[in-house]
Structure 1
Amino acid sequence: MSADEALNAPAVDGRRLEGRRLLVVGAGTRDIGDPDAPPGNGRAIAVLAARQGATVTCADVDRGAALRTAELVRDEGGSAQVVVADVADVEACQAMVATAADLMEGLDALVVNVGIGAGGGLAGTTAEQWDAVFAVNTRAHFLACQAGLPLMPEGGSIVLVSSLAGLRPGSKLPAYDASKAALAGLGRHVAAEGARKGIRANVIAPGLIDTPLGRLATLGRPGRAKSPVPLGRQGTAWEVAAPVTFLLSDEASYITGQVIGVDGGLSTL
């Protein structure tokens, strides 16, 4: 992220997340060697949530990436902590949530924004690759919710970050597509359990978003950038962060159990 990049986030009317304690899992941004690369979704979510008043714990497998996100938050006067965790490890994933809650003296909100891809087509995907993808793309979300839900007070909110690939085929990675589709079912279950405590859970499914990982995906599959998005362009990480912070806020107090596409109409038009 360039020095001025955080300033490119949209202006926010008010501090809708004032006093909220938020854990963002996958808050770092992959370094692709381009100083002008845009932020990833997790970094944009953390920065925007902090602008809206949240205290943020930035969790990532990459310590440097998490520290950089926390630094951006603090540079703007926000409060941020860092937890390093490999969410593919069951115990590490569970400990991550507990540590974040300890650091913030509670947990009001959770965003799980992690994902990997492996294999290629049915014939080109091994059982080991399938399991590795599901460990990060689905099991980590389950474990984070399992650990986080009991810690949340009434009014808490959870957002799981899925993908357009979970709504329609196109990635050519069956493990990725299936693991992202599974988050819709998991999100509904978490919403049903959470409703008893007044806690909401929703899923967002970003489409073609201009992030460092999105640019890497386009290098490997040039046709990705040519997909006919009805709005005529790729989205930005800030356009993903905005609905996420809305869903975390009291403005979305009657929205739960939903899958919301953030894709410029690509999944429906």
Structure 2
Amino acid sequence: MNHPERFRATRVLVTGGSRNIGRAIVERFAAEGAHVAINGVVPGEAEDLADELRAAGHTAVPVPADVSDANQVDQMLTLVCAELGGIDVLINNAAVPLLGRVPFFDLTLAQWDRQFDVGARGTYLCTHAAAQRMGPGGNVINISSVGATKAHRSAVAYDASKGAIEAFTRAAALELATHGIRVNAIAPGAISNARFQALEASVQEREVAPIPLGYAGSGDDVAGVAAFLASTDAAYITGQVITVDGGLSAQARQASSEIEIDSTTDGAA
């Protein structure tokens, strides 16, 4: 349920905010009155979403940057503060998606590095730059994955990078608590996207069979938790990881999936 005035004039930056989970988070915060900065690397996507939101009466600015590049991140945060007057909430959603499985002995160093550069390094760089510009009440929300604690087969780099993000979340929460800044994470499970929706019905049924609630989640499911964590209702919550997976990780044994339907954003933004 949206609360149109809950984040009135709150300044929010969402990395990887132009598609999938990131887009849903951007739209949720805008609908609740936030001024949103949309990061992305796919040409035109962040700009198009910002145009849509502005046409609907919201405040939105595109801020393209590669989150693995320290100089670009610093320039992005400078731009966000110039355009919005500061930053209150950072949502680290940028990731290299788990679109294909790579067996352990086929994994290249370049693939490993790219996962960590965008995911773990990007989360650190953006948090470090944003926290310096936040006052007490600042809020950082990192997007992890159930893969951080329940490994996917043939996804060593992806799962390891998500595990690093969760460890970073706890450590950063301790460091930044004295500055009045909270740091939490969300671990989505199977989140439906266009690729999943294009599958035959029988394949979709097989993929959701291991999920206790019986269906793949949506970006809105993750966005709702992000809005809660950013709100005053979560004022005493920090250093935590909230799992959003329809009960998938609660069971003792899960069927293995051949098709990845986690829809974290692609690219380095």
- Aligned pairs for 1:209-220 (under 5 A) are 209-212=191-194
Cα 1:216/1:135, change in 2 over 3 Å: farther
Judge conservation of contact 1:171–1:177 (CA < 8 Å) in 2.
Answer: no
Secondary structure of 2:184's match? strand
Once the two structures are TM-superposed, the CA of residue 215 in structure 1 deviates from its matched residue by 5.9
| Cα pair distance change 1:254/1:76, threshold 3 Å | same
What amino acid is the match of 1:19?
A: A
Unaligned stretches of 5+ residues in structure 1: 1-10, 30-39
The residue identity in structure 2 corresponding to 1:27 is G
Structure 1 pair 224–237 and aligned structure 2 pair: CA distance change class (3 A): farther
Residue 232 of structure 2 corresponds to which residue in structure 1?
250
Cα gap change, 1:20/1:160 in structure 2, threshold over 3 Å: closer, same or farther? same
Give the CA deviation at 1:213: 6.3
Q: Does the alignment pair 1:135 with 2:117? A: yes
Q: Distance in 1 between matches of 2:71 and 2:86?
A: 20
Indicate the SS of the match to 1:63: coil
Aligned residues: 247
CA contact (8 A) 1:111 1:158 kept: yes
Aligned counterpart, 2:65: 85
Q: Does 1:60 align with 2:40?
A: yes
Distance 1:72 1:103 in 2: 18
Q: Would the alpha carbon gap of residues 246 and 62 (structure 1) be closer, same or farther in structure 2, given more than 3 Å must change?
A: same
Alignment-mate amino acid for residue 114 of structure 2: A
- Aligned residue number for residue 267 of structure 2: none
Cα distance in 2 for partners of 1:140, 1:130 equals 14
SS class of match (1:132): helix
Q: Structure 1 residue runs of 4+, over 4 Å off?
A: 213-218, 221-224
Distance in 2 separating the partners of 1:239 and 1:231: 13
Once the 2 structures are TM-superposed, how far is the Cα of residue 263 of structure 1 from its aligned partner? 0.5
* Structure 2 match to 1:21: 11
Does 1:167 find its partner at 2:157?
no
Show CA shifts across 1:24-83 (max 9, x none). Answer: 111112xxxxxxxxxx11111011101111100001112311112212322321100011
**Are residue 203 (structure 1) and residue 185 (structure 2) matched?**
yes
Identity among equivalent pairs (%): 36
My pick for the range that moved more, 62-71 or 153-162, is 62-71
User: Judging changes above 3 Å, is the alpha-carbon distance between structure 1 residues 222 and 185 closer, same or farther for their aligned structure 2 residues?
Assistant: same
For 1:119 and 1:166, the matched residues in 2 are separated by 16
CA deviation profile, 1:152-202 (whole Å, cap 9, x unmatched) = 011111100011111201252100010011111111122112210111010
What is the TM-score normalised by the length of structure 1? 0.85
TM-score by length of 2: 0.85
Say if 2:175 is the partner of 1:185: no
DSSP-derived class of the 2:250 partner: coil
Q: CA RMSD in A?
A: 2.2
Gaps of 5+ in 2: 252-269
